[in-house]
Structure 1
Amino acid sequence: MSKLDVIFERCIGCRKCRDVCPFGAVELHPWTEGEVSAEVARKSKEKVVILETCTFCNACMEICPTDAIILEAQLQGGTPDRDSYKGVWVFAEQRRGAISSVSYELIGEGQKLAAKLGESLSAVLFGHKMDEQANELLHWGVDNVYYVDDRRLEHFSDERYAEAMTHLVRKFKPNVLLTGATAIGRTFIPRAAVKLRSGLTADCTGLDIEDKTRLLLQTRPTFGGNLMAIIRTERYRPQMSTVRHKVMKPALRRPQPAAGAQVIKMEIPDSAKRAKVRLVQTVDEVADTVNITEADIIVSGGRGLGDPKHFDIIERLAKALGGAVGASRAAVDAGWIPYSHQVGQTGKTVCPKVYIACGISGAIQHLAGMQSSDIIVAINKDPNAPIFKVATYGIVGDLHQIVPALTERFENGR
């Protein structure tokens, strides 16, 4: 049978667990001689004891400021009652009151997963005075929006976000939780995963539901982007993933929310009211290059250019098309072009309307960063290059002849 366990080395003797328990199942007993080290005994004068009358309401776990109380079964045999976890959740990331575009991509993918599981799809929103944005999310195909409204969540705080998410998960028990692999998602969701004693797969490029097991199949590049791994979280819930921006197709906005769709407003938990870090100022990055993640047209060059000076023909074609310049990892590693232009798993993930790959063979890590583009044009002298397998149109030949010829036609409006 599952039971709560106490990590005495973490306990600070605050007695909050005893005071919050609605069933009187937490008691404080004196230490027996030699039971713990002198340091532990000094920090916590009494021993926390969980009685058999515990109903696993999690109140003591949530209020403990040091995460000293845990479910023993979560360390040994996985999350108890895994079958009780239902629903697909998407974290709706916001910055300065605006929902990030990656959130709509996750909703689009979440709709597919929820349909395969036959479960509901919900969005989770943290912020302040964002009722309008919370209601707007209902138009994108979610069944519920769990909205935690508090001034302390107006700006990102990894501590508060992690505590708030942990509280919601323990209360509502979602089966799947998706977050963008952004600076925000990568910072707070690992904290939540540790608190929930669950698994987390980072930087996923593909998600699916396995028919037989109904487990989430989480695909991500591994071994430096040379192999694709499929990861399952078999024993722990929720199944948690971060997903890279521009990998998934966004959901479509609906004129009306689904019948019964609602915003569920939640209070910030006590554990999220405290934070060791105070936000002083937010400074926006001033980029001196085009943001390739937002470009509609990208022309990328690889080692097939033969020389860094030949990037000028890539830049000329990109300019003629009104697009941005991208590059393969090989070209960046060779020092031919700055890292800010790198496309791929170890660079930027892009999803333009048109992606033109010039002299790029198509390593797995590069394909992972651009294969969701609407139209892919590959130019390579090797007819067996992997890039042709994902290309909409392929041109086999010398790029030094083909690219200038294309540029001339576009510049002349032909």
Structure 2
Amino acid sequence: MISRTDLRGPALASLDARGLRDTLPRAGFDVEAALDVVRPICEQVQHHGADALRDLSERFDKVRPEALRVPAAVLTAALEQLDPDIRAALTEATRRARAVHEDQRRTDTTTQVAPGGTVTERWVPVDRVGLYVPGGVAVLASSVVMNVVPAQAAAVPSLAVASPPQRSNTGVFAGYPDPTILAACELLGVDEVYAVGGAQAIAMFTYGAREDDGTVVCEPVSLVTGPGNIYVVAAKRLLKGLIGIDSEAGPTEIAILADDSADPEHVAADLISQAEHDNLAAAVLVTDSDQLATQVEAALERRVAATKHAERIRTSLGGAQSSIVLVDTIEDGLRVVDAYAAEHLEIQTRDAAAVAARVHNAGAIFVGAYAPVSLGDYAAGSNHVLPTGGCACHSSGLSVQSFLRGIHVIDYTQDALRDVASTVTTLAAAEDLPAHGEAVTARFDADV
């Protein structure tokens, strides 16, 4: 069901960092390949607005929403009809997320560089953001919490949510996103919600959308955040620059670093939990124990056969993106997981906290036997919108910081500028930019 990659002996030592990254399992169809698919979709939205969004929904979601923005009455109805247990679970998940994200708030910092000369770093929220909530293979109401809570904690003044319309919806919800997603938006006080999914949602947020008569349906945003499938991620990469993005949070991935102290049933269950998301989901076990690898393989066979989405999980586990990677030592395993830079990394070893402290590259790290990735997906308080595809080596998960911009405010007195004038003019002359120096000396010409 799942392949093995043997990096024991000289195999690992012979690889540099790039070679190791290339050796590790990855999906054959990647973001770069998806760019050619999403480019015409984005151009269609750019040039044809709301009509294009309806056409694309009919093409990809098999439903044509007449009203792209979800009416307030539909949001209210979704919350009123929400199962009380689900409402309680969303409320608790929100409480925990708020506790974590409110502690991430930044404060302005002023540094006195010299007498009369200060630089203040002022933190300002993005003016408007578009938050994407997946609704394809899996409908992720929890992603409403993960997107909205940090944006609200950052005091973003304008935010909108987009999620695909569901053709299975009936009655008042026909042509709109999943009712649980709508209920979560209402619960968090989000009233601007769009029945738009996929790459076209990212294009709508980027360019805005109008009806043929010029009526504005959706204003453009400055930043887009949220997870999605490979096409959503490709659209974010394509349009980055016109908009800011959080990270390339695409098909999910889990890596587990484990030794022979790990419970194979726990490891197998955790690999399956992420493989359940998508055919392209990646599940990787890195271990120095051949016995554990064999036990996990047996547990996977037994557990997958008994779970609901067995076919999807088998496809994921059997794909090129999933593997059991064998290494000689946990030290070697650390090198492997740092090269892989997983979205989710579990450490199931002896002294798990000490091992976790040595990890450099991961979207989120789950320590020990009682911190499975699914805890972070819903109710740890952490954020589950995390970089994938190796991007965790340079990008962070979604946080309050994602929605803030640091602006330097420079305030110098006349005397403070005079004191540093020679430094500026010297460096300007060294770079053959004399006008830079003259912009300083012009302020003191009367002194000469």
TM-score of the two chains, using structure 1 as the length reference: 0.34
* Higher strand proportion: 1
TM-score calculated relative to the size of structure 2: 0.32
**Which structure ranks higher in relative contact order (CA pairs < 8 Å, sequence separation ≥ 6)?**
2
